[in-house]
A = this chain, B = another copy of it.
Amino acid sequence: MKDGKETRCENCIVRQFNSLRAMSKEELKKVSDSKTTKIVKKGEVIFQEGEKLNGVYCVRSGVSKLSKLSANGKDQIVKLATKGQVLGQRCVISEEVSNLSARAVDDMEVCFIPKDDVVHTLNTNPNFAVEVLRHMAHDLKEADDVIVNMSQKTVKQRVAEAFLYMKNNFGEDSEGYLTLTLSREDIASVVGTATESCIRIISEFKKKKYIKTSGKQIGILDERALEDMIDS
């Protein structure tokens, strides 16, 4: 499993998207030697809230939902991670247990990189540390935006936003349906609302021809209308 061109981090395209690109050739080699590649099937758990992580997970393909269980028993999806994203960095850096669960939405391929490699590189290669810092600063900014959206926007606006987000970050197929297919429950969980409320809004959008549906699939018809709706 450790040979073959495409399983070497040095040659992995995915690396271009994340902080690993700031690693030196030597560091990458070391990581590549100690990493393991894992297939995660749709619905399977990568790690759980409260778990201690011994490394980070670099997503090569597929999509993962990062969620947190709230006191009332509902899952809140905090982030969707895709190709190139690194999961579990926070826990490794702050040496705490994970505050989120990661679960596969699609079939996924992820690389597990042991903690020690990451920590060692952080401590010796400032470029890498700064690169990680930059990514985390970005995440934090996004989190602030989410906080404001959650507290100030209506469910309808948030659903509209979620659809646009899905289109912009995951694209659509040749027939105009979103590439990323989430269950209604998952959509509700991203938006932070009850599944039924979410479904009702979807029907409304459909009736108004803002979107089309086909089974679970959702396609955006009138992007403009959704955008207009978002800014109150």
Number of copies: 2
Q: 0/1 per residue, A98-128, Cβ < 8 Å to B?
A: 0110000000000000000000001111110
How far, in angstroms, from A68 to B153 measured CA to CA in the complex? 13
Classify chain A: how many residues form its interface, as a range. Answer: 35 or more
Query: Which of the segments A133-141, A165-173, A176-184, A203-211 contacts the partner chain?
Result: A133-141
Cα distance, A123 to B137, chains bound together (Å): 16
Residue from A122, A126, A148 with most neighbouring chain B CB atoms (10 Å): A148
Binds B, one of A1-9, A69-77, A218-226: A69-77
Q: Is the interface of A mostly helix, strand, loop or mixed?
A: helix
Does chain B have a CB within 8 A of A192?
Answer: yes
**In the complex, chain B residues whose CB is within 8 Å of the CB of A122:** 126, 129-130, 133
In the complex, the chain B residue whose C-beta lies closest to that of A146 is: B147
Among B99, B126, B129, the residue within 8 A (CB) of A141 is: B99
Q: Can you spell out 28 A-B residue pairs with CB atoms less than 8 angstroms apart?
A: A68-B144, A70-B148, A70-B151, A70-B152, A70-B153, A71-B153, A71-B232, A72-B153, A78-B147, A93-B133, A93-B134, A96-B141, A99-B144, A99-B145, A124-B126, A125-B126, A126-B129, A129-B129, A133-B136, A136-B137, A140-B140, A140-B143, A143-B144, A146-B147, A147-B147, A147-B150, A150-B150, A152-B192
